[in-house]
Structure 1
Amino acid sequence: MDADLQAFDACLKEALVQTREWVPRWLDRLNAGLKDKELSARHLNDKQAFVEARTALESRRDLIATHFLAALADAVGNAMPGNDFQAQSGKAVSFDELELMGDDQVQETVELARVQQIVNMTVDHEIVELTARLCTTLGMQVVTVEANPLRADVIVSALMKTLKGLNVGPAIRSRWLQTGAISLGNELQGLYTRLSNQLDRMGVEPAGYAVVQMPEGRPNSGFAPLGERSSPTQDEAAPGNDALLTLDHLHQLLVGNLGQPDDEPRREAGTTGAGNAMVRTLASEVVSLMLKQISADERLLPPVREMLQGMKPALLQVARTDPRFFADRQNPARRLLDAITEHSLAYTNEQDRGYAAFSRQVRGIIDTLQKPGSDLADRFPGLLQHFNRSQTEAMAPEQVQARGLAVKTLVRVEQRNLLAERVAAEFRSRNDFDRSPGVVRRFLTGPWAQVVAQARLEVSNATGLGTSEVPSMRYSDILPDLLWSTQLAVASLNRPRLVKVIPSLLRTLREGLDSIDYPREQTEAFFQTLMGLHEAAYKTQRAEPLQDVQPSQQFEDDTEPWMQPAEARDTCFMDDSLSDTQPSFVDTQPMQREWVELKAEMVAQPPSQLSAGTWVDLWQDGQAVRCQITWASPHGTLFLFSGANGRSLSMTRRGLDRLIEQDKLRVVADHGVVNQALDEVARQAWLNSAKTDGI
């Protein structure tokens, strides 16, 4: 084992050994803390509550220690680099998830946020030093936080898992966390210090931290993912700003549980609690925060962000009558905002084709919404319908037709390739398959499997033909003769049969390859080899097998979809073999998100799993082109991209992955701008909850 990896392994082992020492010590400090609060409690109810919490702790002390050690060992193992692991964190709560959570889950998330906040503040310096040294042991030159399996959120998540597994009420668990958070941070601070000193003695130097410089003169670059900012801005931290919206309030708003005065009648389902001032205030705050995030989203052009702020008065008015409109994806106001922000991602410059018309239409929508009147809610459906229709009409008829043909062709290509895989498996299962030369096996599982698959797909058009006339049957029936004729040891013993089968065999092979328009130049080497095998079998009667010929590179097993030349033209197919010859984004203007961040996201979502609707920047023909995945095949093997300029192209899953690896394709947005802004609203509510009634 490499010396650095040995240091990494030794550090983890030492951490688990020391955990057996500090966990019991922390439980003792927690018990003492509960007793101190019990003695200092002014009210009888508070005193009784701490007595109950301390008694429950004392009766479960050994159980907590045992389960916590086991959970921590398991969590550290799962958090090792290379494992797809996410510690439970308030940051992971999305806006949509919050609506589905129960009250207990929300409270648990808030408790976790508060504990993590205190622990992280306590170990801030020590965890940075330890992470930097652990990254060095893993061969990293730049620090990656997730490379440290001993990070505080992993340990706090293990503690939460342990406490949830005990038969205690939420109130007791909450008092344990409130009382023990500071001492937990102190214990981890000492642990991290000792581990860093151990690595230092082993000669492990800390890795460096990457410094990302914001480019000058490019307003829509350097986009930082929402929820990743290190500290709030002065505006965010202003007294009273964002202070009202807690995670619990946001959750109650989403599920409609915020009460309303008894003397005010309940409204329709979509406007529950609309008469309650608290509801209206919270809804207005959500709208303001959402638009604030959109205005800071540098993936959108500055004029677009400015125009969208013009919708704020109308959206605030909608929030007063329908406080949950932003959470309802089918609400016309939400759909209109989604549609505008979605389409705006197509433009990277105000001079892009189509932007001027798009800008005029958005300004027209805003002018309509700003007109006074009580019919504001009724304007959104018509504006949405008109906007969507205009975007459809903006596409030239030939572009619409070409895109439809491309999708239809790609569906057929995937069907044929999936069927070809099954056909190849059938060929491999034959008893005589493994005895044939490798070049023949590769041909059968490659081009010929495509031939048979194509014929089977077209068999419905061959009604009325005899069994012998159905192409798929004839193409499969030649297998015994092809496999037999290429085995020198057996074919040389029956030259009359060899002479008889060769003409029809070659004729059927060429007919089948022509049926899928397989390039002749790619098969010529195979036919030369095949005729050489037949000639050798005819001229000799030796029983020893012929030495296998040089493998044909064209017919190596490949699970990637194959296209006929006409299909490639119809779908504007981008051959992934060309990606190596194309330049990357080196020395060009930076994209909207740092590539380090995108690679981290791809751990949780592999590139090939990108779905329809994702916006990307693709390096093509010497420039970065903004495209959207407008179609992805059901099995994720083929993708169709469309640009704002009307151009389309398709590629395979491997081609997509390779372009990302080579920094020639970068993800701009894999989900909606509004969705991401609302996720940031949930994050802000989480932060407010951690500050409110803090530990």
Structure 2
Amino acid sequence: MNEASDPSRVINLSQRLDPASERVGELLGAVRSIASKRLQQWVGNAFEHVDDALFDLAEKAENNAAQMHYFDGMREVRKRRPAVERSFLGAISRHIGELAHPQQSSGSSTSFGAVELTLVADNELEESLAITSMIGKNESRLSRDLFAVNQRLSVICGGRKVEDASNPVAPAILAQAFRQALHELSADMRVKLIIYKLFDRYVLSSLEDLYQEINTELVRAGVLPQLRHEVPRGDAKAAGAAGQATDEAAGDIPSDLLQTLHALFSARRGPAVGGNVGMHALSSGPLPSANELLGALSVLQSQIASAGPLPYAQPDDAAALTREVLQLKGQLLTQIGALRGEKPSHVATIDEDTIDLVGMLFEFILEDRNLPAAMQVMLARLQIPYLKAAILDRKLFAHRQHPARRLLDCLAEQAKSWSEESDRDHRLYDKVKSIVDQLLHDFDDDMGVFERLLVDLQQFQDVNKRRSELAEQRVAESTRGREKLEQARRRAAREILDRIGEHKLPPLVHGVLARAWANHLVLTLLRQGETSPEFKSALRFVDDFIASTKPATSPESRQMLRQMLPGIERALRQGLANVAFQEQDIERLLGQLHTYYRQQLGETLDAAEVVAVDEDAAMLAIPDSIQPVIDQGTAPQDSVEEDLAEAPLDSPEWHQVQALQPGTWLEFCLPDEPMTRAKLSWISPMSGRYLFVNRRGLKVADYSPQELTALLTDGQARMLAANALFDRAMSAIVDKLSQPDAVPPADTAAE
């Protein structure tokens, strides 16, 4: 009997296993076997590509020293690869085994302390950020399958909660284990960063297959067979429930990043006088409590809300708001002083870190060119609500799936696609403005408001996405149809011109081929294809029609022409009817051809018949509705081949264009045209042209690779970042604080 179908073998949350039981050992052994097999294959594949990647970089190195770094790295990797792989796979195997013995693994994970992190070298910080970025990207992408693995492992381990941060096959543990394994290498950090990229590409990007296999195996063994493979939202009516849903949805950000931030803030401020003070030395009163901070923020928030509706963004608004962002700490302490009767000179270190971190987040928003200016100004108004949220719930910066963080990311993602041209009805602008207004007016201490607004925004996004996808599909189909038509026209023209060659055709015959018959070839190509008997027959007609214009000067040639004419007339009638010739037009054209062939056969014509085939009158037999496909003596040029031949293949912009993927957003600032933002919707497999649409799915432009490269080179187009606003901001903040000349952020507390 199949285990999953045997009720006695089904395990659920009310029947958790004893971690020491034989059954647990079997199940964890199965998980270890699956993980070891997959990871060994993937990490080996990653290392197989290291040589090529480093060799390419060595060839492009700016100097001999840099080149030697890469060559030395290649030799070091070849020598130490087996040790790295053993260390990595061994660590994961141990972590899986330790799931059954939590007391043995409680101290196995290592993290830097705040004091140590103040001394972290730049290259180690760079390494930490690379790993943090990898983990965040993949945790978000894999949340559904990973959630199911976490739940099933929790059941196996007796109900002890397994999260992304403690699951041995989650991106966080895998990345940290690989980082430890790379200690076997003494290679330059530039080499290690290349290896991390390959690890991300060939290992972390493949984890979906691993999770599905583990889930399938555990379901077969009867572990939570009815578990829904989706992350529960939780109850949005209460902050606690929202936080619980957050915990279940995704693990913490690796502690390295947050500890790094606290350490960098501390290092920039200098030594503290006490263990719990901020930048300033002494205070005349007690430190402000969290409630005092929240009260003062509420007063400031109400002042902004009472100022009336937000005006439409003006060019100078961003600069003014940046000053406000930097001055908030001083305003906050002044407001606390007004409420308590004396102004404190500083706040607790953890509160000051939070104030500075939120301030730098919104300073980043006002500098982020991924956001249009009008949206920058609108989102910057959320600084106080988000500072209140960060004080109320410290997990805002620690959880990627925190509702407040997801709401800001979602707002920024919608804002990225906005332009006045694509939002003439102000639907998106008004929606973002409505959410900002609600947070400014309604948010006090109910953290559930972020979840409710997020759901509202996602519903708005889903409705508009369905509309835009339908429009986008129609645009792509229309473009695809035009390209197929153009390709068929070029093919028909080439076939006819190749057959005409050096022949000097009578105007009537050339007109039939260039207009009516070329259109017949185009339709046959589109409907039946180039390998069809119909297309081959249509090409044979071209050969016969051209041959029929050769002078018939001998009895044999005249006899041959007479034999060809019935077939020519029959094929011509059929082809003309295919391109919608009216019957009277067909008869008129055939009448002119009869007259022409009588001349070819040497028959005597009267004066009226001679006029009928005069060069000026010959084309009158072909209706104006039948458009020419080719002009006499000229062949169409393959513009795509020309573009590719002339494109600057060695420029960075050309490589950017070649790497572009559908879904990427660009900003276009063309002369005498308003700024517009457009998404790469489709790359034509026929012409290679790039089709761009706006947020409503309507066509903005299409460019050849060469044209798009030129726009990027001239600064008339630029790519917009694809990763989330919060992630970009955190990386930028760490980078800014790590600069040697950085100053303590927003130091206005004493004003």
- The higher relative CO (CA closer than 8 Å, separation ≥ 6) is in 1
TM-score (norm 2): 0.39
Larger Rg: 2
TM-score (norm 1): 0.42
